[in-house]
A and B are shown apart, each in its own frame.
Chain A
Amino acid sequence: MAEKVLMKGNEAMAEAAMRAGCRFFFGYPITPQTEVAAYMAKMMPKVGGTYLQAESEVAAINMVYGASAAGARVMTSSSSPGISLKSEGISYMAGADLPGVIVNVQRGGPGLGSIQPSQADYWQATKATGHGDFHIVVYAPSTVQEMADYAFKAFDTADKYRVPVMIMADGMLGQMMEPVVLPEALALEDLPEKPWATCGHGHKRPHNVANSLYLTASDLEDLVRERYERYAVIEETEQEAETYLTEDADIVLVAFGGAARVARSAVNAAREQGIKAGLVRPITLWPFPTRAIEAVVPTAKAFLDVEMNMGQMLEDVRLAVAGRVPVEFYGRTGGVIPTPDEVLAAIVALNEKVGE
């Protein structure tokens, strides 16, 4: 087995991306994701890649568009306000069927907000990363190991479906260090071929175009419908979630990313008090792991959604539970990390409410 190393989440993500064959990184500094760019600046030249600090987030995402159109594996990273700036470009990428990896190491919002860990961009990531009819795949890692694993996997998913893929981290996961086993580097010649790429071909084929402008409405409708067929396949095959102690759980917590770590501690504490608590941890936020929620609805007495925001994923949990049992919410926002004790108190209160 490969050696375990102690790394920050931001750095593990950057290293894993390069090992997945990412050779272009365009970014702009913002706390708490700056280590991603700093790591790329240092390491990318050593593997013959390009690191470029753009003049703005808008410029960076358009550089991602260009590199992706040319067939490269490419990444950009930012934190919440920066992702808002990139949203136009992400929509253009979706509209031109261009794969690429976008990292959001979330901080408190709205506006410039705070620089502390937050999950308040859930809606943005899963419902409206930009204008128009489209989805992006969103991975929510919960450990430094997963920061590496899903950064690596994101490139394959992006290429497979020709969609932008987001890694939704937060300031906690980006800044913390944990032991991590890095994925083995892919050889560039083994990366998937991209016959659609707008790269040089010596007049051997008709030219390719990367474009998101379609002035004939019916042409655009056909394209969007074709894209939604792909989204249906993604929803069917790419849902990922981890379940923890849910088999006999009365109170099922639902939490992702950094909040899921706190929720897991609270579940353990509740079990010590004799309360049967469990956890469903969505790893894909889109597609939302509806099946994992569905599976525990028959045995659960109630759900407790825990987030570092005012209750955003809550809506997806309620859609999945569909009114069959109560779904309540506990969250902290603005960059405040909930403590396991606070979450435990919410579990205890909910258990009393729904208990015989």
Chain B
Amino acid sequence: MGKDLTCVVAGFGGQGSLFAGKVIATAGLIEDREVSWMPSYGPEMRGGTANCSVTLSDEPIGSPLITRPRALIALNQPSFDKFIDNVEEGGIVVVDTAMVPSLTEPEGVTVIGIPATKMCEEAGLKGLGNIVLIGKLWAETGFCSEEALDGAIAKVAGKKPEKLEQNRQAIKLGINA
């Protein structure tokens, strides 16, 4: 149970939070673990926080809706504000500081900020801030093997070779940040 990942990925619609969640879920699929991915589809999406709950586990997964995540990827301020206090003690939060100017760090929670969108723009990888943050989360938690992470990127983003290459670069940016 200790190795379970319960992660919420949240941001504005269009920032790719659901997509990022799918990458993480696919990594779990590749490792043949129990996986669930549950998107928000309700009216809250219109209020600025499209989000998904992703669980990777070695046990059958109960509720796919995560109320107390061990990991949070926040792509914008409303998402950070909405979920930060739900993060479990000992949990980790990875934040795009270019989009989340105001950070708080609850006791027992590690908040790591990197300017993901800005880093992407400088590297010519516009729109891949979500992927950079996955790289950072992976570097901090090792939620799957490196092969599974790369396999997931290939599976989810790999339809066009140049897109795949960009996504791989974005992951590396995050890992090295």
| Residues of A participating in the B interface, judged by any CB pair closer than 8 Å | 4-6, 31-32, 114-116, 171-172, 175-179, 261-266, 268, 335, 337, 339-341
Q: How many A-B residue pairs have CB under 8 A?
A: 63
Chain B residue at minimal CB-CB distance from A339: B67
Selected from A6, A115, A175, A179, the residue in CB contact (under 8 A) with B38 is A175
Q: A115-B42, A176-B36 are in contact. Are A337 and B63 (CB under 8 A)?
A: yes
Task: Verify B22–A172 contact, CB threshold 8 A.
Answer: no
Q: Are B22 and A261 in contact, with the CB atoms below 8 A?
A: no
Min CB gap A278→B, angstroms: 14
Q: What residues of B have a CB within 8 angstroms of the CB of A263 in the complex?
A: 62
**Additional A-B contacts beyond A6-B35, A116-B42 (14; CB < 8 A):** A4-B29, A5-B29, A6-B26, A115-B42, A115-B43, A172-B64, A175-B39, A175-B41, A176-B37, A179-B35, A261-B64, A262-B63, A337-B65, A341-B67
- Could you write out 11 A-B pairs with CB less than 8 Å apart? A4-B29, A6-B22, A6-B35, A6-B37, A171-B41, A176-B38, A178-B37, A261-B64, A268-B62, A337-B63, A340-B62
Which one of A4, A6, A262 has the highest number of Cβ atoms from chain B below 10 Å of its Cβ? Answer: A6
CA distance in complex: A265, B25 (Å): 20
Interface of A is mostly: mixed
Distance A165 CA – B60 CA, assembled complex (angstroms): 28
- Say how far B155's CB is from chain A's closest CB, in angstroms: 9
Check if B32 is an interface residue, CB within 8 A of chain A. Answer: yes
B9-33 interface (Cβ within 8 A of A):
22, 25-26, 29, 32
> Which one, B32, B36, B42, contacts A177 given CB within 8 A?
B36
Contacts of A340 in B (CB 8 A): 62-63
Question: Which residues of chain B come closer than 8 Å to A266, judged between CB atoms?
Answer: 62
Q: How far is the CB of A9 from chain B (nearest CB, A)?
A: 10
Least Cβ–Cβ distance between B98 and chain A, in angstroms: 29
**Quick check: A339 and B63 within 8 Å, CB to CB?**
yes
Complex CA gap A6/B37 in Å reads 9
User: Within B59-81, which residues are at the interface with A (CB < 8 Å)?
Assistant: 60-65, 67
Closest to A6 in B: B29
Residue of A nearest to B60 (CB): A264
Q: Taking CB as reference atom, which chain A residue is nearest B28?
A: A179
Most B C-beta atoms less than 10 A away, residue of A32, A177, A265 = A177
Q: Which residue in chain B gives the minimum CB-CB distance to A267? A: B62
Which chain A residues lie closer than 8 Å to B61 at the CB level? 178, 261
Contacts of A176 in B (CB 8 A): 36-39, 64
How far apart are A141's CB and chain B's nearest CB, in angstroms? 14
Q: A4–B26 Cα gap in the complex (Å)?
A: 11
Q: Which residue of B lies closest to A264 (CB)?
A: B62
Give the nearest-CB partner of A32 in chain B: B41
Q: What are the residues of chain A within 8 A of B64 when measuring CB–CB?
A: 172, 176, 178, 261
Q: How far is the CB of A268 from chain B (nearest CB, A)?
A: 7
Within 8 A of A (CB), among B33-57: 34-39, 41-43
